[in-house]
Structure 1
Amino acid sequence: MLSASDRAVIVRTLAAKLNANYIEPAVADRVSRAIARKNAEGGYGSTASAQAFSEALAKDLRDLSGDLHFGARVDERFRERGTDADVPSRAEMDEARAQTLQGGYEIQKVERLPGNVGYIELRGFGAPEFVGPAYTAAMSLMMGTDALILDLRRNGGGFAASVAYLMSHFFPPGDVRHLNDMYYRPENATTQFWTVRSVAPRYDKPVYVLTSARTGSAGEECAYDFQTQQRGTLVGETTAGAANPPCPFSVGHGIVVGIPAGRSINPITKTSWEGVGVKPDIAVPAAQALQAAHVAILRNLVSSAKDDKERTKLQGVLAMVEKGETETPVYTLRGKR
């Protein structure tokens, strides 16, 4: 349980780490003062446990700053970066690898839709050392399709390096693209993210990317990369608007606060999607985005059909998709209807 003096120490520690690390110094000062004032007035008096206090801090940090990447949790095992124990152990790496495998590399679905349209639903971007081969396997299954839909509507983010690895499949061999920069205030250093020259196979057909208001962080970067590199068409809703990557910091009593210490900088636009989101090229409610993208693709395929037979077949598929129908057969048990 936390005492009033415990909370006061945590708030002072949080203020120091905010002011030293948050990417917007003026905002850090304003937010830390507001939290200190609330604590002094007894505003956190009902948060007796570390868990309750961390949840209250996370909400206030997000509300006061407008930065969705702020967060807080309780983790007694956390080791702050820069310490001797910062390097993960073999056991921790094995555990992370097992969790990634169990989660299917966050590849929720790989499917071939009517009209020979590929579909991949990706829920997040795991660590690149784990997910890279899975991305390549999924893309290998898509190579015979005439267009691809990448569904990021439920993608909450992850690793920028994994975004770069996935994006590498969508440019010709030898065409290396500079996708994103991340400036980190604590180190006063910038990390660049480029596509990977050695990645194969390479997909050269049209790509449509589905977005929603839930698409966040690295999921937004992926959509933004497709848009700014003019490699894909975005369909759906404006994304969440979270571009400042967080770093975890201990503030005491097992509470770990995620402080956005970095800033994403697109090399083409010289800005990011922070606070504004990524705007789709075709704006529709998220629930209608898959159908809208599928219809747009099929209309293009009808226009470019090589002969009347193919055109007629595609027109039939288009009519079906426009009505919201499906080719998937409905199976019943023998003797039942």
Structure 2
Amino acid sequence: MKKIYVGLFFFTSLFSYAQKNDTSTVLTDITEKVKDYYVDNETYKKVNSLFQSELKKGTFNELNKKDFAALLTQKLRTTIKDEHFFVKYLENYTPEKQMSEKEKEKLNNEHNSLENFGFETVQRLPGNIGYINFKGFASPEASEKTLAAAMNFVANTHSLIIDLRENGGGENGMVLLFCSYFFDQKTDLYTTYFRHDNKTVLNSTQPEVSGQKYLHKKIYILTSKKTFSAGEAVAYFLQQYKLAEIIGEKTGGAANPVDPFIIQNQYLLLVPAGKITSLKSKKNWEHIGVTPDQEVKSEDALKTTHVKILKNMATTETKTELTIPEIKNLIYKLEQ
């Protein structure tokens, strides 16, 4: 029994040592990626200090890999104050499963198509008001037809509500394509600086789109605390150019684009690697979010906006499928 006990103790100690060594390697690799890519070239020092402190305290001991990744995400976001940091354990990942960029894009597009490329709902509300519930930005190439169909559907409405309350972001190219529907000509919106390559890219809307543009009409964007990244970008730029009124809650405050990395063939790491600068404001919404023109609770944003539009219609006696008494009756029902 004594020999068995000693053997078990030795095996447990060896396992603990291997686990600690594996954890240290992962943390070292993450620190190096932050050092090489993060938009602020001094931030890696904070990351290294954080990791060394947590290792000494044994914070990561006894954690499974999924929980370890989740805790890393939380620690990085809290310490660096950047919500774009993300670590995820890739349970079934092996190097042999790596795909070409075309294969990755095809798989991505297949997955995004199952969610209709982020377009949850497109409808016409009473009073001839367009409504688009848009939850995420897939690639512009894959989303182009669905976006055009959505915009064609609302083309004849009196005004448009774009619901971004559950929009967690996505691809930069789709931000530009979506915004292109609201600008009558090509407009330079912002630059993106990438520290690793030391290059700055100009981001502009397109002069032509495949669907019908929505111009010279009232646009309202609904936001929440969950509106994030690319979702914030649309709200920010349409507000900046006075093309839309924002109604809801202040957004998450994540402007900087990310680069993805595979760490030790086990973890996906997202590192904010660039900085967006609006050509109009010379700023962005990083850390501060997009402030609504009218702040209301997220759950009340749609009703508030619908009522606001209807009241304006009643005041200006705008022609819709509803009579003025019908509009007033609908306002009364919505406000109850």
Take 2:239 and 2:42, find their aligned partners in 1: how far apart are those partners? 31
Q: Larger Rg: 1 or 2?
A: 2
Q: Residue type matched to 2:315 in 1?
A: S
Give structure 1 regions of 4+ aligned residues with deviation exceeding 6 angstroms. none
Q: Which runs of 5+ in 1 are unaligned?
A: 80-84, 327-337
Calculate percent identity across the aligned residue pairs: 30
- Relative to structure 1, the CA distance from residue 314 to residue 194 in structure 2 (aligned partners, 3 Å threshold; closer, same or farther) is farther
- Say whether 1:88 aligns with 2:138: no
Distance 1:67 1:322 in 2: 43
Aligned pairs for 1:33-72 (under 5 A) are 33-47=49-63, 49-72=64-87
TM superposition score normalised by structure 1: 0.87
Match of 2:140 among 128, 131, 143: 128
Q: Which residue is 2:334 aligned to?
A: 324
Stretch moving more, 151-160 or 254-263:
254-263
Matches of residues 10-25 of structure 1 in structure 2 within 5 Å?
10-25=26-41
**In the alignment, is the contact (CA less than 8 A) between 1:72 and 1:258 conserved in 2?**
yes
2:271 partner amino acid: I
Distance of 2:290 and 2:152 partners within structure 1:
28
Which has the larger displacement, 294-303 or 151-160? Answer: 294-303
Q: Does the C-alpha gap of structure 1 residues 110 and 278 become closer, same or farther in structure 2, counting only changes over 3 Å?
A: same
1:187 corresponds, among 197, 201, 222, to 197
Counterpart position of 1:201 = 212
Question: Counterparts of 1:287 and 1:322 in 2: how far apart (Å)?
Answer: 19
CA deviation map 1:229-254 (0-9, x unaligned) = 11000001100111112211233141
The 1:314/1:169 distance shift into structure 2, 3 A limit, reads farther
Larger helix proportion, structure 1 or 2?
A: 2
Query: What stretches of structure 2 of length at least 5 have no aligned partner?
Result: 1-14
Normalised by the length of structure 2, the TM-score is 0.87
Change (3 A) 1:52 1:165: same
Shift of 1:70: 0.4
Aligned to 2:305: 293
Q: CA deviation at 1:86?
A: 7.4
What RMSD over aligned residues (CA atoms) do the two structures have, in Å? 2.2
2:226 to 198, 214, 226: 214
Aligned residues: 315
Which residue number in structure 2 is paired with residue 233 of structure 1?
245
Checking the alignment, whether the CA contact within 8 Å between 1:18 and 1:32 is kept in structure 2 is no
1:296-322 CA-partner distances (Å, limit 9, x unpaired): 212222233367xx6981453244234
Instruction: State yes or no: 1:29 paired with 2:39.
Output: no
Judge which range, 97-106 or 279-288, deviates more: 97-106
